[in-house]
Structure 1
Amino acid sequence: MRHAGLLFLLCWFVLAWPWLSGHVTIPYDAKAHFLPQVQFFAHALWQGESPFWTPFVFSGHPQVADPQSLIFSPPFALLALFDPAPGLWSADVTTLITIAAGGLALVIWARDQGWETGAAIFTALAFCFGAAMSWRIQHIGQVVSLSMLAITFMLLSRALSRGSWLCGLAAGITASFMVLERDQVALISVYFLTGYVVWHWFSAGVHHSGRRISSSLPPLIAGSIAGTVLVAIPILLTWLLAQMSNRPEIDFIGAGRGSLHPALMVTWLGPDLFGASGDMEDYWGPPSFVWHDTGLYIAQNMGVLYIGAVSFWLMLAGLFSGSLWHREIRFYTIAMLIMLIYALGWYTPVFRLMHMWLPGIDLFRRPADAVFLIGFLTAILAGHGANRLLRSATAPFSRDAWLSAGVVITLGFAYAAYLATHFHQWHEALEPFVISVAFILCAAAVIALVRWLQPIRPHLAAALLVAFAVLDLGFQNGHGGAVGLPPSTYEVLAHGSVNETMVDLKRRVQSGQTATQRDRVELIGLGFHWPNASLTYGLENTLGYNPVRLALYSAATGAGDTSGMHERKFSPLMPSYASPLANLLGLRYIASGVPLEKIDPSVTPGAFPLVARTVDGYIYENPKALPRVLFATRVQQADFDKLLSCGGMPDINYRNTVLLEGPTTPSLPSNATGSAAIREYHNSEIVIDTTSSDGGWLILNDVWHPWWFVEIDGKPAPMLRSNVLFRAVAVPAGTHSVRFNFRPLRGAIEQLTHGSWGPGFQPVGCAPSR
């Protein structure tokens, strides 16, 4: 066992070296979304701040409930705990070590099954560097989920086979680590593990099922209790966030657009047949500019299934020989077929039934995420074939099985050639086509050589099989922009970066900060990896990059998933940067990759002076941005739902007048005065001092959220929703200390107790303009 683990780690080190050496870095979401999250997390911990709320994206966001904030991800929580400023390299190393842990778990599991050492290593390598684990490595949460699945699976297997409650307890804990990622891979992994338990109970026959059930109950109960305790609160908070978010559920069409196109099955033969490793404009698989009539919306590297040429040969031979239907492996074959059907989404009628009846499925938008589980299961199936290859004294598969596998492979390449011809893409497809054919032919030769060596030099046969897998996966799955880009690509997010644009914005914001003023910025059209850079630099940004946002904020501002220049959609309430809502947000600086009028054609010349021109873009100033805290002595009633639907915020002086819903208290005398000043401003606690002659309303232009609570001089007070989007509290005359606290658990309990799901928004009809 020890030797198998060490040999696996040596192979892992070789395959991971491009990232470990810093030559390349994991690209796309790993940097654009996840790295800033863990940087914010680490900075908050080391500054003694709470990471549960961040003011740095979407004008404020509940990180504690966000499934992609990494707060509850054990590998990245450890990184944040030990590294105050995680950079590109440390984040990559954390990801790769997590993958290695999953691979080691599979080595242990395979050895527990009595598999040969070479087969165990072969399985783990296919898992760690095959299919989505390689090609979707940038989606850190799902990578962690799959790694935790492998560890949980190993522990659960031991718990069930040995009746060990300690293994069951450990499995429950690691399963909770998987579930805490709160993504679709975690959800379908739970279904897989549930199916595995049921299969264990009944696979030995009816007469033995009772004994198996009774012996498995102690470990299952121990694991269930431990897992439930660890996940209950985070899952509850995430569920409540979903109810308040822009996507409380995903309808069938929305989910179906993330289906795996059947043509992508040819990527089992070669990962780059459609150009998935290249630029978007060169990719020609479904969907793409070439293959544009699919209705799908998935990334170009989403559907790569390649786990190695030898692996595919062995999986097909096992399928046609019937060995994959033997009792010890049958469950994984069936599970893989189910996962494939699930991933195909709307291309089969089954997914509609799953979407309708399986709990949790309608919370996610991409059934193609099941490619992670497909990679996991095909690695096991290929490993089973490798074990037969390395162990059997006679031919492990029949000649007919090998011939059938060859026919399927030939037909697959013929279909790929037809597609390249049909779409006139041979200029892109020829090189990867030839390379894939070469690897398939070499794999056949390696299998033949391994069979010849196995009886006389079994260790050499195993070494040859593993060595070819390392070469194959390293060359086919380890290159290209989909899995690694130069670290300089993400210089703005690197530790110690002195990016001109961000440094200039930071200086301007800090120099303008006063007891009332905290200016916000907007990063728009600067590049894919820029929106969440505000988390890295501690700049309070009106936008960000996240598929999950507060529904109220999205409706009010038009904020979308990300903030490319074409993604900046304004709203009825904020139809332009020149609007009362933008001013109330305190949006002082707009950093844009293009001249501002290309993003907001309605801006008038001179309304937003250009204050800086950097190598990245333009920085404009909004001179009408309002302070963060205001003191109102006048109140005006408003229908917030109508304003959100129709726009038209009243033309009033927002420095001394506040919009409130429902019955309002009469305004104070015309000569009433008041002031407010920020004494402390932290992520989850804000203290403001107020002084007034007749009382009034303190307005804090931070996003209203039901998990924020307010106290006046230590006594609870009702927190009001003001000016559609913000927080306010009525304060009496005199001098007072007002404290806002973010208390998610208390807020969640009150929501559940009162049956409230946060600030509602019911679209209303708008009268036509006259």
Structure 2
Amino acid sequence: MARRVLAGLGLACLYAAVFLAFHPAIVRGEVFLGWDAVNEHWGDLLVPLHALQAGELPLWNPHERGGYDFLADPQTGVLYPFNWLVWLAAALFGEGPWVVLFKTLLHVAIGGLGTHLLLARLGLSAPAQALGGFAFVLSGRVAKAKDSAGLWSPVWLPWLVLTGLELVRRPSPRSGLAFGAATAMAFLSGYPPNFFRDLVGLAPVLLVALVLVVRGLPHARRHLARVAGAGALAVGVVVGLALPNIVATLAWLPETVREQLDFAEVVFSTATPLHLFDALAPGTWRDGAPVHYLGAVVLLLAVFAVRRDALRITYAACALLFFLLACGDGSPLLPFLARHVPGFGLWRIPAQYFFGFAFFVAVLAAHGLDDLVRAEPGRRRALARRLALVFAPACLGLLVALAWSRAPASTGLAALFVAVGGACLGGLLSARPGLRRAAAPALLGVVLLELKVQARSIHAIAQKPPDLARDAAIATLDDTVGWRVADDEHWRWRVGARLGVRDIFGRNSTLVTRRWRAFHARAREHAGLLAAANVRWYVGGHRLAVQRTAAGRSRWTPGRPVELLDAAPFAYWTPRVEQVERESDALDRLAELPPGSAAVLEAPALTDDVRAALAGLRPDHAPVAATLDEFARNRVALTVDAPAAGVLVIHEAWASGWIARVDGAPAPVLRANYLFRGLLVGPGRHTVELEYRPPRLGAALAVYGLTALLVLVGLIRLPRRTGP
């Protein structure tokens, strides 16, 4: 067992190391990962680490957007065990941007190892296993996704097929637990669109495999019953491990902007079926990075592998299906499915379907190489003819395409690689043992060289390493808990999430609230709205507009953030209440009032008891700032001396999961000042406590823990079935 684990870790490290070697500029420190990796995911990785270091659960993130439910955003991956490895590494070796590179390499290793083990379980030879693994993780789609969340779920597709085939062929409690665990990992990794796409490719493979298995069994019903039992156990595992995310997301969803996407956004793609030419030679048909490229030799080997075998035909059909889906509105398939089949209309970026195309082509190519490696002497001549029928026309066609190619150098190189690769494959059919032994390693070298040369435009996609000078300036600001910053350049590596600075802006994800998005759109250039949200420091690209709207109530030193001198305190008591009828009216009124002078409440959301209490308020006193006694992620404690009955406004975002106690007695949490919280308090000194307790989340977390323990014990203790 230990030997197998060590061998698996060695293989995983090999795939990660080769992937990193394909990006030497990153190794040299000249460039780094781009886009989402450092702009978004770096912050998401550090928020839970800081919470756990403080002895808290990462349920609520108070350091962006006025606060939001961190667990409810699937992309944060709080319950994903492989994120825990990244947190551990960051805790031990520092929190620099390298942590997102480590996560990327970790997922490349997961994808490569999963493909390798799947091909081994299918009985393929060692060269075929290596070819399939490298073809998948070095494909253009994976190389492009090194910077985005799109990578995380697709690398689990090989594991889903591996464990799913085991369940279909040898159903048992152990295989059910394994399949459920792999499926849960694909879900918990944090990118629901590609989890759905994984299932699209998985379903036909398992269905065909099940038909093939039961067709040859004398007791088919008994086997189907075992499959159903193991499948039910797998579903239970997935639900148990995903339940906290599901509960949190469904509770948060009504507040968010996540609605049905516009149809044009769902199906928009720059690819068309004719771009399959670029899978042979990047740039032959269109300009741009070849996101679906995985090597001409690999693609032709996949074509060579297709024969009258139900599973191989299924792999080929899945590859074609994913390619056509990736074409979006360039093909009629996805528009039809998006209109008529639930699920397909929920996700944008059809190019993400190229992950499935890359995986199934890689699996087919491995089968093709295995056919040649294991060729019996009597079959070698027939295989040689088939090989020539695939490779010779492709090479000739590429040479002809040089005349009209958009990238003649790439097309010519493709022809060269096809010719050399075909020669290596022909060597596998030679009568000379030495030539046969050298042919497979030579082919792997050709494939790696081809992917390195032809996909260099994909590998070159990167951005400059983060310059953290801005962090130093923000970290030296005055009291970073009592006051907020407003960093409207949230793409600058999410300083709030990483440094624990309370930022009213932050990552504009798919699950932001409607109110925050409207506030963000107006407040970037409106000093009054920023000050009313407890913002003391503005950092970003709209400095002049903010200073202008501050009308003399700001201070600025070159190289420093703009300081807003009349910012409202963290919390304040006021007897002055402004009631409005509509959500938009609340934002308009907040922009008109002096910061920290009143409480703006929305009348339709108030209960009769609250209305009666508000009717008795008398605005005879000036606002009074509250004292902040405790500030934690899921808890806030304050003290306030109220001269009379009034409303305590707390500049932390409202959410239904927050409960409050005033002097130990429960109190309703009102929505105040558009984004924030309000509490009714009477005259006198009061102790106020707020705690984040989303309903049913505690029970869901308990189910998660019990399910994880069941899976772990079951996979260790339960025996593996060896027979059909």
How high is the TM-score relative to the length of structure 1?
Answer: 0.80
1:8 and 1:78 map into 2 onto residues whose CA distance is 15
- Structure 1 residue 699: Cα displacement: 0.3
Q: Which residue of the partner structure matches residue 173 of structure 2?
A: 165
Q: Specify the code of the residue in structure 2 equivalent to 1:231.
A: A
Find the partner of 2:525 among 572, 576, 594: 576
- How far 1:430 moved relative to its partner? 5.1
Distance 1:414 1:367, change over 3 A: farther
SS for the counterpart of 1:637 is strand
1:532 paired residue number: 494
Structure 1 residues 51-94: Cα deviation after superposition (integer angstroms, max 9, x where no partner): 22212222222210112113123211222145324333343234
Alignment check: 8 A CA contact 1:634 1:667 kept: no
2:657 counterpart of 1:707: yes
Out of 564, 569, 576, the residue aligned to residue 634 of structure 1 is 576
CA contact 1:249–1:364 (8 Å) conserved in 2:
no
What SS class does the counterpart of residue 466 from structure 2 fall into? helix
CA contact (8 A) 1:317 1:404 kept: yes
State the partner residue of 1:195. 204
Q: 1:556 to 1:442 in 2, by over 3 A?
A: same
Q: Give the equivalent residue in structure 2 for 1:288.
A: none
Partner amino acid, structure 2, of 1:611: T
Q: Distance in 2 between matches of 1:546 and 1:476?
A: 35
Q: For 1:290-301, what aligned pairs fall within 5 Å after superposition? A: none
Offset of 1:623 from its aligned partner? 2.3
Give the match's secondary structure for 1:735: strand
Q: Which amino acid is the alignment partner of residue 484 of structure 2?
A: D
Q: How does 1:339-738 map to 2 (within 5 A)?
A: 339-393=322-376, 394-395=380-381, 397=383, 399=385, 402-403=388-389, 406-407=392-393, 418=404, 420=406, 429=407, 431-452=409-430, 456-477=434-455, 482=460, 489-492=465-468, 499=469, 501-510=470-479, 517-524=482-489, 529-557=491-519, 559=520, 570-571=521-522, 574=523, 576-579=525-528, 581-593=529-541, 596-597=543-544, 603=549, 608-613=554-559, 619-643=561-585, 647=588, 649=590, 651-662=592-603, 664=611, 665-666=614-615, 668-672=617-621, 674-738=624-688
1:445-496 Cα shifts (integer Å, max 9, x gaps): 33333433775554322222223233333444467664556xx62242xxxx
Q: Secondary structure at the match of 2:75?
A: coil
- The answer to whether the 8 A contact 1:119-1:386 is kept is yes
Q: Secondary structure at the match of 1:590?
A: strand
Q: Is the 8 A contact 1:59 1:703 kept in 2?
A: yes
Give the C-alpha shift of residue 328 in structure 1.
Answer: 3.3
TM-fit CA distance, 1:164: 3.2
Which residue does 2:257 correspond to in 1? Answer: 246
Distance 1:417 1:529 in 2: 43
Alignment of 1:83 onto 2:25 = no
Moved more, 303-312 or 170-179: 303-312
The alpha carbon displacement at 1:114 in A equals 1.9
Match of 2:64 in 1: 57
Contact 2:484 2:503 in 1 (8 A): no
8 A contact 1:11–1:470 mirrored in 2: no
Letter in 1 for 2:86: L
3-state DSSP class of the match of 1:59?
coil
The equivalent residue for 2:125 is 116
Segment drifting more, 371-380 vs 531-540: 531-540
Residues 137 and 642 (structure 1), Cα distance of their counterparts in 2 relative to 1, 3 Å cut: closer
Kept in 1, the 8 Å contact 2:23–2:459? The answer is no
What are structure 2's unaligned runs of at least 5 residues? 701-724
Secondary structure of 2:561's partner? strand
Distance 2:50 2:626 in 1: 29
Aligned mates of 1:396, 1:608 — CA distance in 2: 82
Decide whether aligned partners of structure 1 residues 447 and 404 sit closer, same or farther in structure 2, where only a CA change above 3 A counts: closer
C-alpha change, 1:243 and 1:434, in structure 2 (3 Å) is farther
Shift of 1:40: 2.1
Equivalent pair of 2:574/2:621 in contact (CA under 8 Å): no
2:17 to 13, 25, 47: 13
CA shift for structure 1 position 197: 2.7
Corresponding residue SS for 1:234: helix
Aligned-pair distance for 1:633? 0.9
**Deviation (angstroms), 1:166:** 0.8
TM-fit CA distance, 1:235: 2.5
Work out the CA distance in 1 between the residues paired with 2:318 and 2:256. Answer: 33
* Aligned counterparts of 2:73 and 2:12: Cα–Cα separation in 1: 35
Shift of 1:690: 1.7
- Cα distance change, pair 555–47 in 1 and its aligned pair in 2 (3 A): closer
Equivalences, count: 676
In 2 relative to 1, CA 480–113 (structure 1 residues): closer, same or farther, beyond 3 Å? closer
Aligned mates of 1:259, 1:110 — CA distance in 2: 33
Instruction: Rate the CA distance shift 1:584–1:193 in 2: closer, same or farther, 3 A.
Output: same
The offset of 1:437, in angstroms, is 4.0
Cα 1:601–1:11 shift into 2, 3 Å: closer
Q: Which moved more, 1:649-658 or 1:732-741?
A: 649-658
Task: Report deviation, 1:45.
Answer: 1.5
> Is 1:177 aligned to residue 185 of structure 2?
yes
**Cα offset, 1:675, TM superposition:** 4.4
Question: Does 2:236 match 1:225?
Answer: yes
Contact kept, 8 Å, 1:264 with 1:304, in 2: the verdict is no
Q: Hey, which of these two has a bigger chunk of helix by percent?
A: 2
Q: Distance in 2 between matches of 1:18 and 1:338?
A: 29
Quote how far apart the aligned CAs of 1:129 are.
1.4
Please state if 1:23 is matched with 2:23: no
Q: Distance in 1 between matches of 2:69 and 2:402?
A: 46
- Greater CA deviation, 116-125 or 623-632? 623-632
Where 1:363 maps in the other structure, the secondary structure is: coil
Quote the residue 1:767 is aligned against: none
Task: Report what 1:297 is aligned to.
Answer: none
Does the 8 Å CA contact 1:38/1:86 hold for their aligned counterparts? Answer: no
1:714–1:153: structure 2 CA closer, same or farther, 3 Å change rule?
farther
Contact map agreement 2:283 2:405 (CA 8 A) in 1? no
DSSP-derived class of the 1:728 partner: strand
Cross-structure match for 1:423: none
Structure 1: which 5+ residue stretches go unaligned?
275-283, 286-299, 421-428, 493-498, 560-569, 751-770
Q: 2:693 is matched with which residue?
A: 743
Corresponding residue of 1:269? 280
The aligned residue for residue 292 of structure 2 is 305
For residue 486 of structure 2, what is the amino acid of its counterpart? Answer: V
Matched residue type, 1:306: Y
Partner Cα separation in structure 2 for residue 454 and residue 127 of structure 1:
31
1:235 aligns with 2:246: yes
Q: Deviation digits for residues 552-583 of structure 1, max 9, x if unmatched?
A: 334432x4xxxxxxxxxx34xx483233x222
Match of 2:301 among 293, 303, 314: 314
Is 1:213 aligned with 2:161?
A: no
Q: After superposition, what is the alpha-carbon deviation per residue over 1:721-758, rounded to whole angstroms, capped at 9, x for unaligned?
A: 012221101112222221121223448999xxxxxxxx
Q: 2: CA distance between counterparts of 1:65 and 1:576?
A: 30
The separation in 1 between residues aligned to 2:47 and 2:588, in whole angstroms, is 34
Verify the 8 A CA contact 1:42 1:80 in the aligned structure 2: yes
CA shift in 2, pair 1:519/1:601, >3 Å: closer
Q: Does the 8 A contact of 2:42 with 2:493 survive in 1?
A: no
